[in-house]
Amino acid sequence: MIKKISRIKNIGSFWLFDWNEINPDNCRDSQGNIITNSRGNPKRIQHEFRKYNILFGENGSGKTMLVSIFKSLNNNNSKDLNKHWDKKNEDREIRIEYNASIIAFEENSGWDSAILEHRFIFFDRNFISNYVHSGVTGRGTKHEQNTGKMMVYLGDFYDYQKQLDRFRSFRDFLRERNAAFEKLEEQKYDLLFSSIVEISKDDIEDRQDMVETLNVENREEYKESLGNKEEELRKLEKAFKGQKKVENLSSLEPIKSPIIYSWFNLSLVNSLFGFTVEGTAIKILDKIQSKKDFIQRGVELIEKESLTNCPLCEQKIRNGDYIEIIKQYQQVFDKEFNNSQQQAKKWLEEYKKFLADILNISTSIVLVNNQQKFAEINQYLTAEKEFPVLDSIQEEQNIIREEIGIVQDKEKRILSYLESENLERIKQIAEKLLKFIDNYNCVVQETNKILEQYKRDLRRGKKQEEKEKLLQEIKQLKINLFIIDRQKELLRYFRSVKCYQKNQGSSSNLDKIFNMLRKRD
């Protein structure tokens, strides 16, 4: 225990303080006489420090400097020991009586003992600042408050305080490290959004599952879909601006080429080119083959039975009547041949027209008009199917032209036998054309249906709802692409949040331990 501060030289306001000089050992009366006790012995004055002591004095008398001396002892340094204002060049000196020994401070060597190091606790302004008022500035006061850190110890507090300080120091270290960790990860996370206006952290916050599961292989699919949706939106917005133009859009026309109504029976072509007198005669003879026996039998009857009247018409039979029968047969042949020739000419004409139609269909005015109309419609809506375009290749056109040449040749020389090697190819080309027309008219029909529905929806405001839906879909696709392009970084952030929370949990446990330590203390 410190008994007295025997001497203070050149410290603060103490120029030269000597405890014994100002604290006499004996009690004296007002006249200066030594007071004695009942036994006649001088009455001694107890002038050493006791368990409780009060220091008081005027401002500048040295109270704070005495505390500084204790702090100097506690810290084992001379930081707080300022020299006297007027004695800056002179040495300092302190002597303290501690139990039965002397602890001394010299200018050059400092304290000669560390026995009182860390043996003090100071409830001074610094203590209040560190443990009572620290941290956040309180409302209506200039002090900063953090009462959670206030600790008051009784007994041999130093070891306890040291342990608590160590514990608190580590707890704070962990908190700070975790806060810095969170801040750094947040900064990295913020950077992911810095160059994108349309997507915010809120958009990603509730899509953690998606961040975990989105497949990077779907990126191109999302990108293509996004392009289509954006194009659709652009068209829709254009339609809103030009509603009148949309109303005036014309429907497409189906192909009504005569080709559909006069589709030529290609199986006739060979017989057409093979039309000759001989071929026709054989056909006619075939036709009257069944009558041959009938005629021969009739002639025999007339000759052998010497019939005077015809058994069929009962008219009189005269000489030379046989010639008439032959003539009649000749007439029958001529008539049949003529009919066949006319029919052949007619079919040749139809076949030629059919071939010309095939050749001209690609430049048909319907196709040209529809192409233009479709381009106008396509400015506002996107048809589900691509508009068919007829790709008539040069080789096909050459074959058809050659075939037309053969037909014209046959028309000029109707009774000459001709052959065409193009028939199979003509059939293929015709089949291809038929399919095209079917498909074309189907698309025309669908497009017209969509166009009419589009006009109705635009009038009824349904397109506005569609636009809202489209905007949502576009946003979702953009989020998907954003996530895929930054999946690794986003996953890292979500992991970091989990780490931070986990660390917070452990930090809370340290708080609990700390509180338990304080209670035990």
Q: Is 166 in the site for another protein (CB under 8 A)?
A: yes
The values of phi and psi at residue 447, to 5°, are -60, -40
Closest to another protein by CB, 295 or 516: 516
Closest to another protein by CB, 317 or 510: 510
In contact, 11 and 69? CB cutoff 8 Å = yes
Instruction: Provide, rounded to whole angstroms, the least separation between the CB of residue 483 and another protein.
Output: 15
Q: Is 516 in the site for another protein (CB under 8 A)?
A: yes
159, 198, 231, 321: which one binds another protein (CB under 8 A): 159
Q: Is 503 in the site for another protein (CB under 8 A)?
A: yes
Closest to another protein by CB, 182 or 446: 182
Of the candidates 366, 389, 387, the one whose C-alpha atom is nearest the C-alpha of residue 450 is 387
Q: Is 422 in the site for another protein (CB under 8 A)?
A: no
In contact, 275 and 414? CB cutoff 8 Å = yes
Instruction: Provide, rounded to whole angstroms, the least separation between the CB of residue 154 and another protein.
Output: 13
Maximal C-alpha separation, the chain: 214
Q: Is 170 in the site for another protein (CB under 8 A)?
A: yes
Inter-residue long-range contacts of 146-153, CB under 8 Å, 24+ positions, other chains counted: 151/518, 153/121, 153/521
Instruction: Provide, rounded to whole angstroms, the least separation between the CB of residue 385 and another protein.
Output: 45
Site for another protein in 182-211 (CB under 8 A): 185
43, 44, 162, 449: which one binds another protein (CB under 8 A): 162
Closest to another protein by CB, 416 or 515: 515
104, 151, 174, 284: which one binds another protein (CB under 8 A): 174
Sequential DSSP letters for 399-457:
HHHHHHHHHHHHHHTTTS----S-HHHHHHHHHHHHHHHHHHHHHHHHHHHHHHHHHHH
Contacts of 473 (CB under 8 A, 6+ apart): 229
169, 372, 408, 428: which one binds another protein (CB under 8 A): 169
Q: Is the dihedral of CA 110, 111, 117, 120 positive or negative?
A: negative
- With CB under 8 A, what is the number of residues at the site for another protein? 33
With residues binned 3-state (H G I as helix, E B as strand, rest as coil), the percentages for the chain, rounded to 5, are: 60, 10, 30
CA distance linking residue 262 with residue 433, whole number of Å: 14
Of the ranges 28-36, 104-112, 319-327, 496-504, which one interacts with another protein (CB under 8 A)? 496-504
- Phi-psi map region of 508: left, alpha, beta (phi>0 left; psi -120 to 50 alpha): alpha
CA distance linking residue 283 with residue 333, whole number of Å: 10
Of the ranges 154-162, 259-267, 335-343, 364-372, which one interacts with another protein (CB under 8 A)? 154-162
129, 147, 163, 250: which one binds another protein (CB under 8 A): 163
Q: Is 420 in the site for another protein (CB under 8 A)?
A: no
Tell me which H or E stretch contains 69: helix 63-75
Instruction: Provide, rounded to whole angstroms, the least separation between the CB of residue 110 and another protein.
Output: 29
Q: Is 173 in the site for another protein (CB under 8 A)?
A: yes
CA distance linking residue 127 with residue 125, whole number of Å: 5
- Both tokens assigned to 184: 């750094």
Q: Is 473 in the site for another protein (CB under 8 A)?
A: no
Closest to another protein by CB, 375 or 516: 516
Of the ranges 347-355, 445-453, 465-473, 507-515, which one interacts with another protein (CB under 8 A)? 507-515
Of the candidates 337, 129, 128, 377, the one whose C-alpha atom is nearest the C-alpha of residue 245 is 377
Q: Is 149 in the site for another protein (CB under 8 A)?
A: no
Q: Which residue has the tokens 């303080």?
A: 17
Of the ranges 113-121, 274-282, 429-437, 498-506, which one interacts with another protein (CB under 8 A)? 498-506
Binding site for another protein (CB under 8 A): 159-160, 162-163, 166-167, 169-170, 173-174, 177-178, 181, 185, 491-496, 498-499, 502-503, 506, 509-510, 512-513, 516-517, 520-521
